[in-house]
Structure 1
Amino acid sequence: TVTRRSSPDQLLEDPFFRRFFGEEGFPQSPREEHLRGQGSGFIIDRSGVILTNSHVVNGADKVTVTLKDGRTFEGKVRGADEVTDLAVVKIDGSSLPIASLGNSDQIQVGDWAIAVGNPLGLDNTVTLGIVSTLKRSSAQVGIPDKRLDFIQTDAAINPGNSGGPLVNDQGEVIGINTAIRADAMGIGFAIPINKAKTIKDQLAKGERIVHPYLGVQMTMLTPELAKQNNSDPNSAFMVPEVNGVIVVRVLPNTPAAKAGLRRGDVITQIDEQTITTAEQLQTIVENSRLGQTLQVKVQRGDVIKQLPVQTAELKNAA
């Protein structure tokens, strides 16, 4: 599945860790309410190319596709990418009806949003809402291991909707429904269709989607947050009162670990670009070349360091 609940860790008892990740360790994971063996998708090519979520078909031995007219086909998973939660399924067909793909960069808050899918096993269900927010980060959604900015909508999304289209009032697909929050009603999230456009052809060919990474867990730091930490007598150590991204954990045997990054370092620049949010840093890394050396400027206490970090491929992103 898309979300994975991490095992208990001694860092959860650390006041420093709790301060920057909250009392629950991480944002609450979304409740991706899809029934076992059920999901949605939509055809994007008349020969039978179907776009859906990776978690809908992940680990499936057999995929059966049922069209609106009742016809059924045996589907084959051509490609899947867990990091973006996108997958392509192929069925053998011709002159099949296809969905019209819109431009998710052109949508605005307040636009109509229509979710189509098979919630709770109820075929061809349509629900209406609006676009509530754009560019909601994966960390805010509760799945920080993903590299996505989501469309937030209040259109009802329920079990079985995952992988189905979110369309505008012109019937164009603007997103792919993927998750809802367990702790809120009327809040759903969709992957912008423009993100899918960039990798759908690679997935259809069975090509691996390469994702560079550094190997750190991090969160945004501001002078105000740093002051709160530094005034707490239970804090593990003092934090520089600057804007940037603070490293909460360096994963072993990763590019960050090999470069000498440490827990508590504050990343303020990458290649002369000022860093103020974790999402900004993640975007820079995602857009870098595999093996590219990034010049990472960090503040460690009162010391400023420049650390060259060579990106590597994020593995197990099937």
Structure 2
Amino acid sequence: MVRGVPRTRLGRVAAALAGLAVLAACQGTSGSGSTASGSANGSADSTTVSVVKTVSPSVVLIQTADGLGSGEVYDTKGNIVTNAHVIGSATSFVVTTSSGKQLDGTLVGSFPPDDLAVIRVNGAGLQPAKFGDSSKLEPGATVLAIGNPLGLEGSVTSGIVSALGRVVSEGPGGATLPDAIQTSAPINPGNSGGALVDLASEVVGIPTLAALSPGSQAPAPGIGFAISSNRAKVIADQLVATGRVTNSGRAYLGIQGGATTGGEGVLVVAVTPGGPAAQAGITAGTLITSVAGKPTPGPSQLAEVLATLSPGQTVPVTIVPPHSGVRTTINVTLGELPG
């Protein structure tokens, strides 16, 4: 499991300027070899420029009273997809398009468990981004992150897809992303909610957070994470249709949990009546030490385990009942996380 930090609030993260890496071209004795290399580089540059020109008009800057972030136009009705942590508790926004036009935005709906939200502006003249099929991504594929880091509108960084299917925790109080894309494309403050695009000019992810180095807790260079476009579409379609998520597709235990002093497990503070835990006999005061054979020393680890499971799945849950001190394992049939 990986932990990171959302990259949107300017005051929350001190961004350090990285040194520029200079690539030295080795000139061989063959003139034709040099020409072929130059031709290949020119072709790659041309493709990248074309992608940026195609996608940038669909990427917007979102401002709230607390900070700023990015988003992309989802459809011709003016719906814009972004991160839930970008909008926070705000319900109205100032949205700046790539042409510099400012529009008033209103909240359509938010789903914090997946760190996704949809806001809406007057859609006249806005160009929707084309969302691709993230399941077709492969490690090593070139991707570009387009957004507004540090408020610098229309900025572009590049990298590759480093890994797929990561389970990433945003830390205490944050979301746990079940199907994140790891990328080497730098994700800086203000990039959150923007577009991770492939060379076909299709959005394949929503840049969301950067990994933190253990110990120093400083952003780890070259390790960023994006919500997959397929997951974003599932949530965004529901938010656009009804303003809420009714089919999350995520496993749900039905408890409110707290941390323990020694990391011995998750202390059940409250149980949802009629929920999966209640039906299995779990009560307040119970200590949950593992789920599906994986240790759960704290709430974040429990959320990470649940993110890998599915609604309807029956899994072993190891608990210490209140006033017992004896570990026992019961089977719990997981529900679906409500919107």
Query: 3-state SS of the aligned residue for 1:135?
Result: strand
Structure whose alpha-carbon radius of gyration is higher? 2
Match of 1:189 in 2: 225
Per-residue CA distance 1:7-50 (angstroms, 9 max, x = gap): xxxxxxxxxxxxxxxxxxx9755253433421111112122111
Counterpart of 1:53 (choices 57, 79, 83) is 83
Unaligned ranges ≥5, structure 2: 11-65, 214-219, 294-300, 321-325
Provide TM-score, normalisation by structure 1: 0.67
Gap change, CA 1:32 and 1:299, over 3 Å in 2: same
Equivalent in the alignment of 1:129: 159
8 Å CA contact 1:297–1:304 kept in 2: the answer is no
Asked if structure 1 preserves the Cα contact closer than 8 Å seen for 2:143 and 2:198, the reply is yes
Q: Distance in 2 between matches of 1:268 and 1:118?
A: 40
**Structure 2 Cα separation of the partners of residues 151 and 31 of structure 1:** 14
CA distance in 2, matches of 1:190, 1:157: 9
Per-residue deviation, 1:97: 1.1
Identity over aligned residues, as a percent? Answer: 36
Q: Distance in 2 between matches of 1:205 and 1:44?
A: 13
Match 1:199 to one of 224, 228, 235: 235
User: Alignment partner of 2:105: what SS?
Assistant: strand
Note if 1:37 corresponds to 2:67: yes
Distance (whole Å) between structure 1 residues aligned to residue 241 and residue 85 of structure 2: 19
The answer to whether the aligner puts 1:253 opposite 2:270 as a matched pair is yes
Provide the residue aligned with 2:287 in structure 1.
263
SS in 1 for 2:221: coil
1:142 and 1:79 map into 2 onto residues whose CA distance is 23
1:187, distance to aligned residue in structure 2 (A): 1.3
Q: Could you say what secondary structure the match of 2:265 adopts?
A: strand
Q: Classify the secondary structure of the residue corresponding to 1:177.
A: strand
Question: Would you say how many aligned residue pairs link Structure 1 and Structure 2?
Answer: 250
| SS in structure 1 of the partner of residue 150 of structure 2 | helix
SS at match of 2:269: coil
CA distance 1:56–1:267, change in 2 (3 Å): closer
Relative distance call for 1:300 and 1:123 in structure 2 (3 A) is: closer
Structure 2 counterpart of 1:22: none
* 8 Å CA contact retained: 2:252, 2:306: no
Query: How many angstroms apart in 1 are the aligned matches of 2:327 and 2:123?
Result: 63
Task: Give the drift of 1:267.
Answer: 4.2
Shift of residue 72, structure 1, vs aligned partner: 1.4
Deviation of the 1:206 alpha carbon: 4.1
User: How much does 1:71 deviate?
Assistant: 1.4
Distance 1:181 1:167 in 2: 20
Aligned residues of 2:280 and 2:330 also touching (Cα < 8 A) = no
- Note closer, same or farther for the CA distance 1:145–1:56 as it changes in structure 2 (3 Å cut): closer
- Let me know the Cα RMSD of the aligned residues: 3.3
| 1:1-318 correspondence runs (5 A) | 29-30=4-5, 32-35=7-10, 36-139=66-169, 142=171, 145-183=175-213, 184-210=220-246, 213-214=252-253, 215=255, 248-254=265-271, 255=275, 256=277, 259-261=280-282, 262-263=286-287, 266-268=290-292, 281-285=306-310, 287-288=311-312, 295-298=314-317, 305-308=329-332, 311=335
Partners of 1:74 and 1:310 in 2: how far apart?
A: 41
- Alpha carbons of structure 1 residues 59 and 74: separation in structure 2 relative to 1, 3 Å: same
**Distance in 2, Cα, partners of 1:313 & 1:31:** 22
